[in-house]
Every structure is written in structure tokens, then in C-alpha cells.
Structure 1
Amino acid sequence: MENLHLDKHISQRFDSDLEALKSQVLVMGGLVERQIINALTALETADSIIACNVIEVEDDIDMHEVKLDEQCTMVLACRQPAASDLRMVLTVIKMIRDLERMGDEAQKIAKMAIELSDSGAAPGGYDEVRHMGALVQDMVHSVLDAFARFDVDQALQVAKADKKVDREYASAMREIVTYMMEDPRCITRVMKIIWALRALERIGDHSRNIAEHIIFLVRGLDVRHTSVNEIEKKLNRI
């Protein structure tokens, strides 16, 4: 596990500002994580009440993003951070955008759950959603833990896991197409499952983005648009 030593400042208020940013990001992340779990539960159980709650709570996630963005702007303007402190603020700005978009994807899954509750279950695809959902939930939980502990190794594992999610998504698509071919009357309902799987794939992408932000925060490396193998090589060279 990596240790990020944020600079100590004469102003204890500056230290508390940075710690508050970290804590509030984790609160927002926990809310998003719960949204994803609830959205998947709603889809699997056709529970429109849970799904509606997911949609309503999305407003709270949006407010967290706005509040944290304002706090980051204030820190940049008033404290003029440098080095690791600056990376911390920039990382928070990037992370909250990814977290907000993950919340949007959870909301999409919840909307699919409501539509399937109204129209009737799809003939298949739920096993694929369950399996892929478990992989994505693990990514989200792991990447938030990696941020809490500034753990580059764990962040790298999350980036690697995204490839597995992509493979599972492609496999699920091939399987689900067979349901539509066998019974064209179910196409509309099966498309709801496809959109839910697509949302999960996007949540996996955002989790990888956050993993890359953590690597930037701790090591100062910009690894965006870089393969996992290349990221690993860069980390080993330091």
C-alpha cells in the first residue's frame, strides 16, 4: 500500500480542508455504491418502489457534486496548493464527476427496472446482470477503498478488473441476442436488460477512471488512455 504524505501547513485549517474533501468524497462514493446495489436489486426483483427511491436519491448525489466542486474551487482560490496538495484537489474534482456519472447510470438501471415491472419480466438476461453486477460492485467498493488508503496497487487491480467487465459485457450481449432471435415479441423487454448491462459497463469504466486518478494523486503519473500493461510498467519504473 502506498502512503501519500500531504504537506503539513502552518494553517491547520488548510489541513482540515483537505481532510474534509477526502471524507466527503467517500461519503458521496458510499451513496453511489448503495445506489448501484439498490438499482440492481430493483431490476432483479421487479421492485418499482426501490427503483423510484434510487431515482429520487440521485438528486442528493448531484448536490454532493455541486458542493464538493465549490469547496475545491475555494481551496484553489484561497490556498493556492502545490505539489501533492494540488494533486489532491484536482483528483477530487475529477473523482466527483465520475461518481456523479455512476449515479446517473444507476438511475438508468432503476428506470429499466420500473419499465420491466410495468411490462413484465424479460425472458432472460438476469443471470448476466447478476454476474456482471457483482463484478462492478466489487470494482466500485475496491476503488473507494483504494482512495481512502491511497493504495496504488489496489487501484491498479481495479483498472485490470475493467477488462474482465468488458469481456463479460461482450459475452452477455451475444447470449442475450439469442433471446431476441428466438422470440421477436420479447425484443422491447430484452432491450431493457441490454441497457442495464450497458449502464453497468459504463460504471466499470468510471471506476477505472477513478483508479487512474488515484495513481495520479499518489505517484504524479498521468495514465489516462494508457493500457494496463503500460500503467504497470510506468509504476515499476518509479
Structure 2
Amino acid sequence: MNDRHLSSQFDEDLNSLCSKLLKMGGLVESQVEVAMRGFSETNIDLCNQVIEREKSINTLEVEIDSACTELIARRQPTARDLRLVMAISKAITNLERAGDEAEIVAKRARRVIEQAPNYKINAAEIKLSGQMAIDLLRRSLDCFARLDAASAAKVVEDDRQIDEEFRGFVRKLITYMAEDPKMISTGLDLLSIAKAIERIGDHSKNIAEFVIYIVKGADVRHVPHDDLVREATK
């Protein structure tokens, strides 16, 4: 087998890994969407659907991680190719955790529907932040597919909006529960849902940061935001 053939096969292996990651990302995105619909529409069947499908995400994570390990062992990639494989391995961990958070949303929503179908807490922030999290996850995956560092930096910036919605809801929730102790149990379930959504945003942000790492070769996970933007766009 000549070098050109080896290089071509290596490219195919990398493309296969990327395709599998995007497939997993699409499944996680669907899970978040269905979980939020289950909550918004008070639909237990949708919640159960999310819970039942969660194992398929775990299976994909193991499959892709194994493929990453095998590719590194066989091909010994370097430079950007190595960064791509490492980023895929880390990104699928974040996707799996985002899938776990979608399951939490579904389980907590199901309990609220079953135990407090007529709860009086205004959960507009949860619904809004849920839509924002779905959009952020979709955009982070698009950035990964296109290896677009500049757009990835915008995803990182926009994650702040979900954090703000979460903090606003927590403040409102504390007021509700203080005024009506009977709502504490339901309030805690809603808090868990809001926190799960906030974490989905965090995982999407992490995936976007991996894109910058692949393209620019810089680890921007713990740098100030202005420095991250500068690195992504230079």
C-alpha cells in the first residue's frame, strides 16, 4: 500500500469519526428538544421517550471513543489531525453528559406532571433557556462540522445568556417557595430542570472551545473571554 493510499484511508477514517460525532450530536439535540416539549406540553409519553432512548447515546460514545483510540494507535496522527481526534474524544464526552441532562429534564418533568399538574410557578425562563440551549448545541455542532473558530467563539459568548436566564429563574423560584411552602417539592424539581438546561449550554460551549483548539492549536478552556475571541479570530 503506497503513501498516497495510506493518506487517503486516513482521511476517510477521520471523516468517519466526524460523521459519527455529528450523528451522536443530532441524537442528543433531538433528546433535548423532545425533553423540552415533554415539559412544555406536559406530555409524559415524550418524557418517557427521552428516558428510553438515553442508552443509545451511551452506546455511541463508547463506539466513537474506541474508534478514536484505534485510529491513534494505527495512524499515529500529528499536529492538527491529532488535535481533531483528541477533540472528538472530548466532545463526545460532553455530548453524552448533555444527553444525561436531557434525561434529567425528562424525569423531573414527568414527576412534575404526575404530582403537580396544576403548579402555579411561572416557568417562562425554563422554556426560553431550553430553546436557547437547543440552538447553542446545534450551532456548536455546526461549528465543529465546518471547523469555524470565529462562530465557535460566538457560541461561547452566547452561553452567558443561558446562565443569566438560570440565575433569574432561581431568584424567582426562591420567592415562590418562600410564599408557598407547599410548592417547595415542585420548585426543587423545576430547579433541577433549569440547572440541567444550564449545563447543556455549558457542554455546548465546551464543544465550541474544542473547535478553536483544533483550528488554532490553542487550549482556550480557561482563558478570559476577550483572549478567547482574540485567539479564535486572529
Where does residue 226 of structure 1 map in the other structure?
223
5+ residue gaps, structure 2, are none
Q: What is the one-letter code of the residue matched to 1:207?
A: S
Q: 2:23 aligned with 1:30, yes or no? A: no
Deviations 1:136-158 (A, max 9, x none): 11101110111111111110010
Partner residue, 1:72: 68
Tell me the percent identity. Answer: 38
Identify which range, 25-34 or 114-123, moves more after superposition: 114-123
2-structure distance, mates of 1:231, 1:9? 37
- How far the C-alpha of 1:208 sits from its partner, in A, is 0.8
Aligned residue runs from structure 1 range 1-238, under 5 A: 10-11=5-6, 12-121=8-117, 122-236=119-233, 238=234
Aligned-partner Cα distance in 1 for 2:4–2:180: 66
- Deviation string 1:12-56 (CA, Å, 9 cap, x unpaired) is 221110000001100000000000000011111221111111011
Q: What amino acid is the match of 2:62?
A: V
1:96 is paired with a residue whose SS is helix
- Offset at 1:9? 5.2
- For structure 1, the 5+ residue unaligned runs are 1-7
Question: Scaled by the length of structure 1, what TM-score is found?
Answer: 0.93
45 and 129 in structure 1: CA distance in 2 versus 1, 3 angstrom threshold: same
Q: Does the 8 Å CA contact 2:58/2:96 hold for their aligned counterparts?
A: yes
**How far apart, in 2, do the equivalents of 1:47 and 1:166 lie?**
26
By how many angstroms is 1:227 displaced? 2.1
Contact 1:9 1:15 in 2 (8 A): no
Report the count of equivalent residues: 230
Q: Within 1, Cα distance between the matches of 2:23 and 2:46?
A: 21
Alpha-carbon distance in structure 2 between the residues aligned to 1:194 and 1:221: 35
Q: Which amino acid aligns with 1:34?
A: S
Alpha-carbon distance in 1 for matches of 2:72, 2:4 = 15
TM-score, normalised by the number of residues in structure 2:
0.95
C-alpha spacing 1:225/1:114, structure 2 compared with 1 (3 Å): same
* Residues 150 and 232, structure 2, Cα contact 8 Å, conserved in 1: no
Please report how far the alpha carbon of residue 187 of structure 1 lies from its aligned counterpart in structure 2 after TM superposition. Answer: 0.8
Instruction: Measure how far apart 1:233 and its partner are.
Output: 2.5
Q: Is the 8 A contact 2:153 2:232 kept in 1?
A: no
| 2:186 counterpart letter in structure 1 | R
CA RMSD after TM alignment: 1.3
